[in-house]
Amino acid sequence: MTPPSVWVRSRGGTYEVVVGPGLLPDLPRSLVEAVGARRYAVISDDNVAALHGHAVMERLREAGLDASLYTFPAGEASKTRKSWSILTDEMLEAGFGRDACVVAVGGGVTTDMAGFVAATYLRGIPVVQVPTSYLAMIDASVGGKTGVDTKAGKNLVGAFQPPRLVVADTSVLRTLPREERAQGLVEAFKHGAIMDRPYFERLEANFDRLMDADGDAAADAVLRSVEIKAEVVGEDEYESAIRQILNFGHTLGHAIEAASQFRIGHGSAVALGMLLEARLGEEMGVTERGTRERLEKPLVRLVGPLPKFDPEAAVPFLRSDKKVRAGEIRVVLLRRLGEADKGEGWSRAVPEAQLRDLLAKAAAAR
């Protein structure tokens, strides 16, 4: 039986996202059909390498493909130019040419890091994404965004590098700790919040099954989220307009995450960011009243008590957000649950003083 898939439109060429359980055994054939490279550089963090990276490399070798595994330390703190430099230097020393392909096996950090390696190595070689977490399957592996973090904030150095193929084997989700499943599912609820209220409600109804990585429920959620992201990315690949809505909760969430030096998980930070941006929208008369409260129950159920944070430490990271235009901080707001506000080009300029006050009130309530 052919697994379900979604095709994503890109200026670099349309690519397929294949979703379902038990896809990894067929990965060598998929790579040959999608890329047909002479050599494959499998990149994983050291945690995922032990679980899946070595197995992927060996599977490729058993199929007669030339494959080598490269690793970096797990965690957001390793998503840096230093790690990128080490990986690219290792590939250069091994003599990988432009007929090579990067195979990214891992979560969101790996999809960003390995994608950036592929985007910059010899001015660009193909990348195939093999996501192993909800976050990576639902969000990070699709859309072509790659990059690393800097002291000024998250993902501020990077490139757009659409993958040639995404293989989302949902059976590997069972190897994740439950808290990591929860962190990634925040992005699924975000997709429902910005574009599809029935999907949001379906996620609520399937909450326990999703947390258990139940096969049908997990595949359904990943597939629908990929469909939503593909629709947005196909219309606006380089985030000049509607693609900004995928950053709902991220302007404030990324600032809180970076200010904590990544001690606060991405999902927890984005969950808090979604609630704060919903509250901001209600205060501005843009978002339907009661939306923040409607979001709160499933998000708190996912990530537990929302994190404490230093509001003043978060403010400088707002100024370096990628949506800043002409010195103005811009925030994505909802019109109502399931519908993003078109605003002033899908985001709205908000005075820094107003955001500072919002953060201060939220921090005091923690």
Q: Which residues are catalytic?
A: 123, 145, 187, 229, 239, 243, 247, 250, 254, 266
43 to each of 156, 242, 364, how far by Cα in Å? Answer: 21, 31, 42
3-state secondary structure of 169: strand
Q: β-pairing, 5-8 with 15-20?
A: antiparallel
CA 258 vs. chain centroid, Å, equals 16
Element (H, E) at 126: none
Q: What angle do CA 219, 220, 223 make, to 5 degrees?
A: 80
Question: Given the structure tokens 């925040």, which residue do they identify?
Answer: 186
Question: Is the CB of residue 311 less than 8 Å from the CB of residue 356?
Answer: yes
Sign of the alpha-carbon torsion through 170, 174, 175, 178: positive
H runs (alpha helix) in the chain: 27-34, 46-48, 54-62, 81-93, 108-120, 134-135, 178-195, 197-205, 207-211, 215-235, 250-259, 266-283, 291-303, 311-319, 352-365
38: which DSSP letter? Answer: S
3-state secondary structure of 292: helix
